[in-house]
Amino acid sequence: SQKIEQNSEALNIQEGKTATLTCNYTNYSPAYLQWYRQDPGRGPVFLLLIRENEKEKRKERLKVTFDTTLKQSLFHITASQPADSATYLCASAGNSGYSTLTFGKGTMLLVSP
Amino acid sequence: DGGITQSPKYLFRKEGQNVTLSCEQNLNHDAMYWYRQDPGQGLRLIYYSQIVNDFQKGDIAEGYSVSREKKESFPLTVTSAQKNPTAFYLCATTGTSGGAGDGELFFGEGSRLTVL
């Protein structure tokens, strides 16, 4: 079955550095990937959507890439700040079809001052 | 204020009891979703509805039921048949015609259910 996987280990970085989070998918070829941010005890908030023909997308300090050969999306936060500390989720078309999303387990990012 | 309202935020239930979680939206979105989140787990889809009076099972529908009598409302009932109901429940909507695959999901703040 199709899988979407993220590194379960937390990523610890220093303020000002670039954080890079990874999302890998197997057994399918998604037409798009989405990235969300989730703070503890809150609902996820949408950040970016990237389609398979876009390769790279940017929004302020955020950058997402989509490599269909490696079956991987990378999510970058440049000039990271402690306020960027959160769990980041990637998502793509769900097992129930195009109209639903399947989420990875998320990667926690901790940015130290 | 436009958005999605989930209630209650915290709920305690005794074993064997049914409980209903509310999800109301004023975004005028057609599609609504219920996800469950457990510690260390991703969001798992319980049920979804793309139009009033119609809904489909997600990946983990057993022990849950829903209704979609109004566009604004998509309540989730956790029945006594759900063996491990303690979890964080999230309601979401999307307004894109292609469903969740075409654009962003908007999430509520979640309801935390604890079975005593």
- Contact assignment for B59 to A94 by CB distance below 8 Å: yes
Tokens of A62: 């955020």
Q: Please, are residues B46 and B60 in contact by the beta-carbon 8 Å criterion?
A: yes
Q: Taking 70 as the threshold, does the pLDDT of residue A49 lie above it?
A: yes
Q: Is A48 at the interface with chain B, CB within 8 A?
A: no
Of A43, A97, A102, which is closest to B108 when you measure between CB atoms? A43
- At B78 the pLDDT is 96
- Contact assignment for B48 to A103 by CB distance below 8 Å: no
Average predicted confidence (pLDDT) for chain A: 92
Q: Is A49 at the interface with chain B, CB within 8 A?
A: yes
- Contact assignment for A32 to B101 by CB distance below 8 Å: yes
A97 pLDDT band, cuts 50/70/90, is low
DSSP letters, chain A, are --EEEE--S-EEEETTSPEEEEEEEESS--SEEEEEEE-TTS--EEEEEEETTT-EEEETTEEEEEETTTTEEEEEESS--GGG-EEEEEEEEETTEEEEEEE---EEEEEE-
Torsion angles phi and psi, residue A82, rounded to 5: -55, -30
Q: Looking up tokens 């999430």, which residue turns up? A: B107
* Each residue's pLDDT tens digit, B58-115: 999 999 999 999 999 999 999 998 989 999 999 999 987 656 566 789 999 999 999 9
More confident residue, B116 or B111: B111
Q: Please, are residues A91 and B90 in contact by the beta-carbon 8 Å criterion?
A: no
The burial of B30, by beta-carbon neighbours within 10 Å (0-12 exposed, 13-18 middle, 19 or more buried), is given as: middle
- At A18 the pLDDT is 98
- At A63 the pLDDT is 98
- At A100 the pLDDT is 83
Chain A residues lying within 8 Å of B34, measured CB to CB? none
* Each residue's pLDDT tens digit, B32-58: 999 999 988 889 999 999 999 999 999
- Contact assignment for A43 to B99 by CB distance below 8 Å: no
Chain A residues lying within 8 Å of B42, measured CB to CB? 4, 89, 102-106
Q: Measured in whole angstroms, how far is the alpha carbon of residue A42 from the centre of its chain?
A: 17
**How far is it, in rounded angstroms, from Cα B75 to Cα B111?**
12
Q: Taking 90 as the threshold, does the pLDDT of residue A55 lie above it?
A: no
* Each residue's pLDDT tens digit, B6-23: 999 999 999 889 999 999
- Contact assignment for A100 to B90 by CB distance below 8 Å: no
